[in-house]
Amino acid sequence: MMCIYTLCMQYMLIYIKSSQALSTLRWKPTASMFRLETIAILVAGLIIGGIVGWLAVSTLAPPPAGTVRTFYVLTTEWTFAIFDSEFKRVDKIEVNKGDRVMLIFLPLTFMPHELYEELEHEFIEEAIKAGLLKNEEEFEKYEEEAEETLAKEAYGVEFIPHGLAIRGYEDKVNVISEGRPVTISFTADKVGEFDIYCSLFCGWGHAFMKLEKAFVVKG
């Protein structure tokens, strides 16, 4: 398409130069010659306009089905947070049917400490507002209990492990992170809105580790 555009521009430059040259000659081109040149310029303009319009539409259109979509799912005690491929926080994972989805499941040990504190503080505030916690001290008590009884004694790891699963996609997404990043790649082949949840018992806040309708596949 760029070749057509280049040819059209070259033709227009040649026409302009030719017109300037003809103006210095004694003989003048006929009316039929002017009509042919005018038609050629109009056709060139339509082609250029079509190319520009196509580029504008293709730029604004959503990614076509079948593309690779990457998202990060971060976990703390006891919450999930979703980030897109540019690491901007989003509420949902939205893809098209047929897309190849790559989820990078990051535990708290692989995220900046400031971000971990932000997510934890956000969860504590929401839990207090909902009446699930009295204060931050109560949260720390539950966290300590989970680290001692679950992480170290039951699971034999340093940090509280969490699972990541998508309801309706458990055959493709159902993994456990024991302090290490986990990458899951699968094809979104079912249309609908699906819950993201923790698939491993992780203590007091396990029941709250769910994002309702947070995985959206459009047909």
What is the per-residue pLDDT across 121-135, written as a single tens digit (0 to 9) for each? 999 999 999 999 999
SS (H, E, C) 142-179: HHHHHHHHHHHHHCCCCCCCEEEEECCCCCCCEEEECC
Sheet holding 192-197, edge to edge: 93-96, 210-218, 192-197, 162-166, 174-177
Give the DSSP H or E segment for 218: strand 210-218
Give the DSSP H or E segment for 100: strand 100-106
**CATH class in words for 68-218:** mainly beta
Are 179 and 158 in contact by the 8 Å Cβ rule? The answer is yes
Helix locations, the chain, DSSP H = 2-22, 31-60, 113-129, 136-145
**pLDDT tens digits for 6-59?**
444 444 444 444 444 444 444 444 555 445 555 555 455 555 555 544 444 444
* Rg for the chain, CA atoms, rounded: 30
DSSP annotation of 65: T
Share of the chain above pLDDT 70, in %: 70
- Nearest-5° angle of CA 107, CA 113, CA 116? 55
136 compared with 9, residue with greater pLDDT: 136
Task: Say whether pTM exceeds 0.75.
Answer: no
Is the per-residue pLDDT at 147 higher than 70?
Answer: yes
Q: Structure tokens of 48? A: 């250029």
Are 93 and 184 in contact by the 8 Å Cβ rule? The answer is no
Sheet holding 182-187, edge to edge: 89-90, 79-83, 68-76, 100-106, 182-187
- Name every residue whose Cβ is closer than 8 Å to that of residue 63 and which is 6 or more positions away in sequence: 69, 96, 99
User: What values do phi and psi take at 66, rounded to 5?
Assistant: 100, -5
Identify the three-state secondary structure at position 129. helix
Strand partners, 197: 165, 210
Q: Structure tokens of 92? A: 């949902």
Among the listed residues 188, 195, 196, 197, the one whose alpha carbon sits nearest the alpha carbon of residue 218: 188
55 to 2, 4, 48, 49, 96: CA distances (angstroms):
11, 14, 11, 10, 22
The domain segmentation of the chain, as residue ranges, is 2-60, 68-218
Is the per-residue pLDDT at 149 higher than 50?
Answer: yes
